[in-house]
């Protein structure tokens, strides 16, 4: 299949690690140029050396260090790179915990990035894409939005809001030729997931180092690989999926209909 992504410019937030880095690799493999962002210039430097050491050309990769929980940084990113074809909203770092463990300060801080960061960048880039009558926005959200858990309450509520946001925006954006869709990953191998599973292992098993034991009851006896989310994101953004908008695709190995057995 020809995904026809050569000469496309793709902005991937949180592209220095985990799912975002895997999405970056997958777009590069299709001949696209990418811009990856994260807060830490060192993480971006590591990502760049990883990508170039696997054979991708540095002229196809730009990096930008900023904190997307600040609207001023969202505006600065747009100002520097206004002309993109595809936006992947992916940067997110909502901690696990129940309503008593996540106080108001932590709650608001994490939503500044995962909720308001997605909304702010969508507002900026959607306008530009609508004027060109072309573009795709893909929001990496999370299964907790449709399968909420008390122990991940802050993320569940954020994801649920972003699902509604994606559906409403993607329903209307097609009037001006722009597609907006989302992906809900379930547990996917990444630094963030390791941190969250270590907390659960501490709470449930009394030992953070036993976190891998929590993955064996998942579908296929494992977490999703970042590439399993990335390939779908790239395919969904391609012209081959030209009728995909206002939809959020669940990637959970069927877990929502078959919860792990105790």
Residues in contact with ligand NAP by CB under 6 A are 14, 16-20, 37-40, 43, 67-69, 90-94, 113-114, 140, 142, 185, 187-188, 190-193
- CB-based contact 81:128 (threshold 8 Å): no
19 touches 188 (CB < 8 A):
yes
Structure tokens belonging to residue 105: 């300060």
Q: What's the closest the beta carbon of residue 99 comes to ligand NAP, in angstroms?
A: 19
Q: Which is nearer to ligand NAP, 8 or 17 (CB)?
A: 17
Structure tokens at 89: 């909203």
SS3 152: strand
CB of 28 to ligand NAP, least distance (A): 16
| Nearer Cβ to ligand NAP (32/140) | 140
Contact 163/140 with Cβ under 8 angstroms?
A: no
**At its nearest, how many Å lie between ligand NAP and the CB of residue 251?**
9
Residue number, 146 or 172, with CB nearest to ligand NAP: 146
Contact 8, 33 (CB under 8 A): yes
Query: From the CB of 74, what's the least distance to ligand NAP, in Å?
Result: 9
**Toward ligand NAP, which CB reaches closer, 90 or 120?**
90
CA angle 126, 148, 107 (to 5 degrees): 65
DSSP labels, 15-74: TTSHHHHHHHHHHHHTT-EEEEEES-HHHHHHHHHHHHHTT--GGGEEEEE--TTSHHHH
Decide whether 162 or 178 has the Cβ nearer to ligand NAP.
Answer: 162
Residue 175 CB, nearest approach to ligand NAP (Å): 28
Beta carbons within 8 Å of 16's beta carbon, 6+ residues apart: 36, 37, 38, 40, 43, 44, 46, 47, 63
Query: Is the CB of 45 or the CB of 239 nearer to ligand NAP?
Result: 45
Give min distance, CB of 6 to ligand NAP, in A.
25
């Amino acid at each position: 299949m020809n995904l026809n992504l050569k000469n496309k410019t793709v902005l991937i937030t949180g592209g220095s690690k985990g799912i975002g880095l895997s999405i970056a690799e997958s777009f590069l493999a299709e001949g696209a140029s990418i811009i990856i962002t994260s807060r830490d210039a060192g993480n971006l430097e590591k990502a760049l050396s990883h990508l170039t050491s696997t054979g991708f050309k540095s002229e196809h990769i730009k990096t930008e260090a900023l904190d997307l929980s600040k609207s001023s940084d969202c505006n600065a990113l747009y100002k520097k790179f206004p002309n993109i074809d595809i936006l992947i909203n992916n940067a997110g770092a909502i901690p696990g915990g129940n309503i008593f463990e996540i106080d108001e300060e932590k709650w608001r801080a994490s939503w500044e990035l995962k909720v308001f960061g997605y909304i702010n960048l969508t507002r900026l880039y959607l306008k530009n894409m609508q004027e060109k009558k072309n573009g795709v926005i893909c929001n990496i959200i999370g299964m907790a939005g449709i399968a909420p858990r008390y122990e991940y309450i802050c993320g569940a509520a954020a994801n649920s809001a972003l699902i509604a946001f994606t559906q409403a925006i993607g329903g209307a954006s097609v009037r001006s030729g722009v597609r907006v869709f989302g992906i809900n990953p379930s547990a996917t191998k990444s630094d963030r997931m390791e941190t969250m599973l270590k907390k659960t292992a501490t709470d449930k098993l009394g030992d953070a180092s036993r976190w891998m034991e929590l993955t064996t009851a998942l579908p296929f006896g494992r977490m999703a690989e970042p590439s399993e989310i990335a390939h779908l994101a790239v395919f969904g953004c391609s012209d081959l999926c030209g009728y995909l908008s206002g939809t959020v695709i669940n990637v959970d190995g069927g877990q929502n209909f078959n919860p792990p057995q105790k």
